[in-house]
Amino acid sequence: MIDCQGNQDFTSIDRSASESCTLHLPQIAEPVSVQKFLDRLMQYQVDPALLGRQICQILATSFDRELLLLQIANTLGVAWGADFCWVTAVVDQKVVNPNAYWQNSSDFPYVAGVADSTETPEHPQTPRLKPPSISLEHPVWANVLADGEIVAISDYLDSPAASSPNSPVTALPLRAILAGPARFGGAVNGMVIVGKSQPHEWSVADRQRLEAASEAIGIAISHIQKTQEIASLNEQLQRQAKYKNLLMSVAASIDTNSEVDRILQQVIENTVDTLEVDRGQILLLKYTDPLFTTPSPNQTPKAKVELVCESVVKKDPNKQAIAQSAAGKKSSTSKTKNKDKTANSQSKIPNSKPNNSPAFWLSESNLCRQAFHGAPKPLALADAGELIGKEQEAAKEILKLQGIRGLLLVPLTGGCCQETVLGFLVLQHSEPRTWTPEELEVLESVSAQASKMIIQTQTLKELQTAVLDRTAQLQQSLDLQGKLYEQSANQLEQMRKLKVIKDEFLSTLSHELRTPLTIMKLAILMLKQAELPSASRTKYLDILEQQCSKETALVNDLLALKQFEPQQVPISLIKIDLNRLFQDLVKDFEKQWADKQLTLKVDLPKLTPCWETDPDILNRVLLELLTNAGKYSASGTAVVLEASEAAGYIVLSISNFGRGISAADLPHIFDKFRRGTGITDQAIAGTGLGLALVKSLVQHLNGTIDVSSCPAESSESDNLWRTSFTLTLPQFAAELCNVEE
């Protein structure tokens, strides 16, 4: 049994007279100290006849394949009381793993070890041992392996084999040697060598015991080899699972993110974790010339190499010591890897793309240029120390090549023929590293996915830009069409209004022209009567004269409006007396308004007695305004004429009380051929040219005219409105002369 200190208690069993002593090994639940195991084992005499059974028991009870062959070598050496025992697997006349040896020396009593053993914290008492140097090309070993013979040499130094150039033993001073094959399934798969430092005669029983143990040793070797194969397959499956998870994580990053920088960052982080390298980077090429679809070995394009993202694993100071201690014990390797992976994930430095990505020219890096021209194949360097030393400082600083040995550059290719180099996926390691075909294959898949994502993103951005541009163009077109439609609608509305105005003007003009002509025609018919009295003749002649004057005035209005619109008529400045001008107007209009019972009230304060202006234009303006006021005044009301001086201007106001002007007609009161709503229906004479002519004449005098219409305050009837036209004219001749110039 095994106690809490790891010591084993052995119990002797009953034996017959033919058996000296048989040792039954207890089940070993866990590896124990080799030295302690051997010390307790040598306290008993072992019966060599039961070696095969003991080896099978070791095979059935040992759970550590690294110590299994070592325990067998120890058992064989102790069983024969030898000083040396070596058990090894053989394939094609070559020593292969597994193999183990045991040695009994004065410096290390009963020392044992496996061929690749190293010092570990778990086994500090096991020193590093150099395996024996034995050549299997010697005929002695050839007979053992080829013919399955057992070779027994009592004194090696006296035998012919000692003089052979392929001496079987050169590392240890052995004299007596017993060697035999290990068999599995009828075939030789290993060899056992037992030796003593002094000459010894090997008995037939020794040969038979070795022959009896041959099958058990062969089974043990085959078991270890199968276990190694299974472990290798498990490791391969684990690697395949890791690579599959890497590809799935890359695909998930592409599906769940829309930003290229974040996707590339996650890709490089997952790649660094999976391949367990020290640093990973993704470089993108920014061409200044058109893209080179086919890289030419003689020409390097002008392109910037930009570092867009990287993932760095911090160095763990205990990592190297843990790796060394775990090299001799595979059972602890998985735990160490888990610890290392945890340390790596915690020490990872996430990097996001800065505003200005570090960059260098493609021609400044021999490594990038070599990877570019070798695309799409990866540039895998197990030890890139010499090439890194030839890199220029700009590229070496951005790529952080200081202290790097293992280097891998995988081109990111895309385009219609998958030949355009988009960039590189770079992996770096501080120690020389061999890149396996499996790693290269999975990295090519990763780069293909990343390249496809980059191409799709660029295409999507181009499409989005094109859609936005097209949308903007369509919006501009729609806006332009909207403006054109609005202009067309406005023009149609103006044309409609002009048509209405034209129709109204033609109707009015037709009425104004036909009415005098009809009267004149009747007067002429009456004058043709021979018996017409002289008084009647005079009356009809007066009618003709009046109607002819109306026709003449209408024609003159049309001509004057046409004449004054471009302001081509010169101004004739003459000094006039305003008081006399107003008095004459009062006399003339009181006679005209006698039938309508209208009066003209004049409010004239002290004005400048003489005023220099164009009397014809001013007189025409006043006549038109007073005529218009009398036309629309209610019977029995008064027309008010007011005058005042202010800041070098004379302000004249003519007001009447009547129906008024509606708010809708007020802005258009000075338009040509425009009359108030319903005026024509009320049979009020007029052509719609008078106020338009007034505005042109006032502007010709460098003045302004305004109109207002509101309910009269002192009116007894709510139907009377006060309509006022206000003229503001300059008082000095100098200002009028400026207009003429």
Write out the two tokens for 505.
């003007």
Phi, psi angle pair for 599, to nearest 5°: -125, 155
Q: What is the DSSP letter of 364?
A: G
Residues 6+ apart with CB under 8 A from 332: 122, 325, 326
For residues 504, 508, 514 and 518, what is the CA-based torsion angle, rounded to 10 degrees? 130
The pLDDT-based confidence of 37 (bands split at 50, 70, 90) is very low
429 has pLDDT over 90 = yes
Q: Residue by residue, what is the 3-state secondary structure of 118-130?
A: CCECCECCCCCCC
Query: What is the reported pLDDT for 670?
Result: 82
12 has pLDDT over 90 = no
Query: What is the reported pLDDT for 411?
Result: 93
719 has pLDDT over 80 = no
The 8 Å CB, 24+ separation contacts for 547-554 are 547/516, 547/517, 547/519, 547/520, 547/523, 548/516, 548/520, 550/512, 550/516, 551/513, 551/516, 551/517, 554/509, 554/512, 554/513, 554/687
Worst-scoring range by mean pLDDT, 97-106, 148-157, 306-315?
A: 97-106
DSSP string covering 674-711: ---TTTTTTT----S-HHHHHHHHHHHTT-EEEEEEEE
Query: What is the reported pLDDT for 160?
Result: 66
Interatomic CA distance for residues 438 and 351, integer angstroms = 28
Query: What is the reported pLDDT for 563?
Result: 60
Per DSSP bridges, beta strands 704-711 and 721-730 are: antiparallel
Query: What is the reported pLDDT for 168?
Result: 53
Q: Is 276 exposed, middle or buried (0-12, 13-18, 19+ CB in 10 A)?
A: middle
Query: What is the reported pLDDT for 265?
Result: 92
Q: Of 201, 33, 250, 26, which Cα lies nearest the Cα of 124?
A: 33
Per DSSP bridges, beta strands 406-414 and 379-381 are: antiparallel
The pLDDT-based confidence of 148 (bands split at 50, 70, 90) is confident
Residues 6+ apart with CB under 8 A from 291: 415, 420
Per DSSP bridges, beta strands 176-184 and 187-196 are: antiparallel
Cβ neighbours, 10 Å, residue 544: 18
The pLDDT-based confidence of 118 (bands split at 50, 70, 90) is very low
More confident residue, 291 or 377: 377
Query: What is the reported pLDDT for 73?
Result: 84
More confident residue, 409 or 554: 409
Average pLDDT over residues 44-56: 59
Interatomic CA distance for residues 619 and 576, integer angstroms = 11
Most confident of 129-133, 303-307, 387-391, 668-672: 303-307
User: The whole model's pTM is what?
Assistant: 0.50
Helix (H, G, I), strand (E, B) or coil at 324: helix
Average pLDDT over residues 337-341: 44
63 has pLDDT over 70 = no
Query: What is the reported pLDDT for 99?
Result: 81
Question: Do the Cβ atoms of 711 and 719 come closer than 8 Å?
Answer: no
Query: What is the reported pLDDT for 320?
Result: 47
Q: Of 102, 90, 100, which Cα lies nearest the Cα of 196?
A: 102
DSSP string covering 521-587: HHHHHHHT-TT--HHHHHHHHHHHHHHHHHHHHHHHHHHHHHHHTTT-SPP--EEEEHHHHHHHHHH
165 has pLDDT over 80 = no
Cβ neighbours, 10 Å, residue 254: 19
Write out the two tokens for 462.
């181009």
623 has pLDDT over 80 = yes
Question: Do the Cβ atoms of 590 and 629 come closer than 8 Å?
Answer: no
The pLDDT-based confidence of 687 (bands split at 50, 70, 90) is low
- For residue 582, CA distances in Å to 141, 210, 578, 587, 736 come to 154, 159, 6, 9, 22
Question: Do the Cβ atoms of 405 and 429 come closer than 8 Å?
Answer: yes
Interatomic CA distance for residues 710 and 591, integer angstroms = 28
Worst-scoring range by mean pLDDT, 217-221, 378-382, 548-552?
A: 548-552
Residue with tokens 């044992």: 112
Worst-scoring range by mean pLDDT, 50-54, 430-434, 632-636?
A: 50-54
More confident residue, 294 or 193: 193
Write out the two tokens for 14.
């009953």
334 has pLDDT over 80 = no
DSSP run (H or E) holding 591: helix 578-592
Most confident of 43-52, 125-134, 296-305: 296-305
Average pLDDT over residues 98-119: 55
Write out the two tokens for 572.
């004739």
Query: What is the reported pLDDT for 161?
Result: 61
112 has pLDDT over 50 = no
116 has pLDDT over 50 = no
Most confident of 307-311, 312-316, 611-615, 620-624: 307-311
Within 178-259, residue ranges assigned H as helices are: 204-256
Query: What is the reported pLDDT for 281?
Result: 93
Instruction: Name the average pLDDT for the chain.
Output: 75
Interatomic CA distance for residues 631 and 593, integer angstroms = 9
Q: Buried b / exposed e across 572-610, counting CB within 10 Å, b at 16+?
A: eeeebebeeebeebeeebeeebeeeebbbeeeeeebeee
Worst-scoring range by mean pLDDT, 181-195, 373-387, 484-498, 572-586?
A: 572-586
Strand partners, 183: 188
Interatomic CA distance for residues 620 and 264, integer angstroms = 88
Q: What is the DSSP letter of 668?
A: G
Interatomic CA distance for residues 87 and 180, integer angstroms = 10
Peptide bond into 131 cis (omega under 30): no
Residue with tokens 């150099």: 130
- For residue 368, CA distances in Å to 363, 429, 561, 595 come to 8, 17, 86, 111
Peptide bond into 165 cis (omega under 30): no
- Return the percentage of the chain with pLDDT > 70, whole number: 70
Write out the two tokens for 369.
């240029």
Question: Do the Cβ atoms of 145 and 131 come closer than 8 Å?
Answer: no
Question: Do the Cβ atoms of 198 and 176 come closer than 8 Å?
Answer: yes
The pLDDT-based confidence of 292 (bands split at 50, 70, 90) is low
More confident residue, 52 or 260: 260
283 has pLDDT over 90 = yes
Amino acid identity for residue 194 in this structure? V
Interatomic CA distance for residues 13 and 180, integer angstroms = 30
Q: How confident is the model over 654-682, as pLDDT tens digits?
A: 999 988 888 888 888 887 766 666 565 55
More confident residue, 268 or 8: 268
Most confident of 256-265, 325-334, 354-363: 256-265
Average pLDDT over residues 180-206: 86
Interatomic CA distance for residues 523 and 663, integer angstroms = 43
Query: What is the reported pLDDT for 474?
Result: 92
Worst-scoring range by mean pLDDT, 307-321, 338-352, 454-468?
A: 338-352
Q: Buried b / exposed e across 126-163, counting CB within 10 Å, b at 16+?
A: beebebbebebebebbeebbeebebbbbebbeeeebee
Interatomic CA distance for residues 405 and 396, integer angstroms = 13
DSSP string covering 246-292: HHHHHHHHHHH---HHHHHHHHHHHHHHHHT-SEEEEEEEEESSSP-
Q: Of 702, 639, 707, which Cα lies nearest the Cα of 670?
A: 707
Query: What is the reported pLDDT for 735?
Result: 45
Most confident of 150-164, 293-307, 311-325, 647-661: 647-661
The pLDDT-based confidence of 578 (bands split at 50, 70, 90) is confident
Write out the two tokens for 343.
């340390």
More confident residue, 88 or 418: 88
27 has pLDDT over 60 = no
Average pLDDT over residues 231-255: 87
Per DSSP bridges, beta strands 599-603 and 420-429 are: unpaired
Interatomic CA distance for residues 516 and 550, integer angstroms = 7
Cβ neighbours, 10 Å, residue 627: 14
Helix (H, G, I), strand (E, B) or coil at 86: strand
Cβ neighbours, 10 Å, residue 54: 23
Query: What is the reported pLDDT for 383?
Result: 92
Residues 6+ apart with CB under 8 A from 736: 571, 573, 612, 613, 614, 701, 702, 730
